[in-house]
Amino acid sequence: MPEGVIVKALSGYYYVLPAQAEAEPIQCRARGIFKKKGITPLVGDRVMYEVTENGEGTVDVVLPRTTELIRPPVANVDQAVLAFSLAEPALNLQLLDKFLVHTEKAGLETLICLTKRDLLTEDGLLDDRSQEQPALDEVKRLYEGIGYTVLVTSTRTKEGIAEARSRLADRTSVFSGQSGVGKSSLVNALVPGLSLETNEISSKLGRGKHTTRHVELIALEGNGGGLVADTPGFSQLDFLQIEVDELSSCFVEMKRASSGCKFRGCLHQHEPGCRVLAAVENGEIASSRYKHYLVFLQEMKERKRRY
């Protein structure tokens, strides 16, 4: 039975790219047994399939996954590229931290890609100083200090595009981020000849319209190849797959510090001998990150009370 990878899922069909080189994707349906077992094939799944008489196929086996994201629904990626704009819409660090929690939980290496650099001044600030927004250098210093790679890009000036493309070589990467940040424009710039649909920012809502409506793996040509997944933009995430006592381990700097806490299972709120609280106090952990941790923790506790 031949093997392949699902590169697109749309309207009940799964498009399987055969393992052999230069093959075209085969349109497949999934066997009914998957529904009975509560299994949903995902884009990125390595599968075994059969070709039927009409030239289509059936997905018969989903092979074990190395990674899995629930939202966006994609499997077997090894790198997450989080695209967040520096302006239009404004940079949302709380949402960025929420995405980082999920990529850490999924065990993905994460690349932070800050888009629309051309909308800032040379000093990395907004022209409109009435809007509160951290300077570009401050943001880079914060997240690079934690250990993340931060790339600054502009699809208009091509700044950072070559470096971003080199980071995708020989990897399977998922692109995600808040809608309207230029994610599809970024993928268009990285994959020559691609024309993913893009849209302008809604001035009324202050955020982008969703232009990508399904998850699809796209092959990169040259420079070691690689696959990238463009996914629907969205501005909210929930924590249904993360438990309260797991949250701090998804903040890299808190995970490092928490090994020194006095009590096992410390939630880093007001416990005596908490190494994380001490690190926040002396500036080893950014107050903004800790504040977001507390917001997420409260969200998770309220969720547990509801259910």
Q: Which residues are annotated as a binding site for GTP?
A: 115-118, 177-185
3-state secondary structure of 98: helix
Task: Return binding residues.
Answer: 115-118, 177-185, 261, 266, 268, 274
Q: Which of 298, 261, 251, 59 is nearest to 147 (CA)?
A: 251
| CA distances to 172, 215, 266, 301 from 247, in Å | 26, 27, 11, 11
Q: Which of 5, 12, 16, 11 is nearest to 55 (CA)?
A: 16
Q: What is the β-pairing status of strands 79-85 and 109-115?
A: parallel
Task: Return binding residues for Zn(2+).
Answer: 261, 266, 268, 274
Q: Which of 176, 170, 192 is nearest to 115 (CA)?
A: 176
* CA dihedral over 121, 125, 126, 128, signed as positive or negative: negative
Give 303-306's long-range contacts (Cβ < 8 A, gap of 24+): 303/238, 303/239, 303/240, 304/244
Residue 152 near residue 114 (C-beta atoms within 8 A): yes
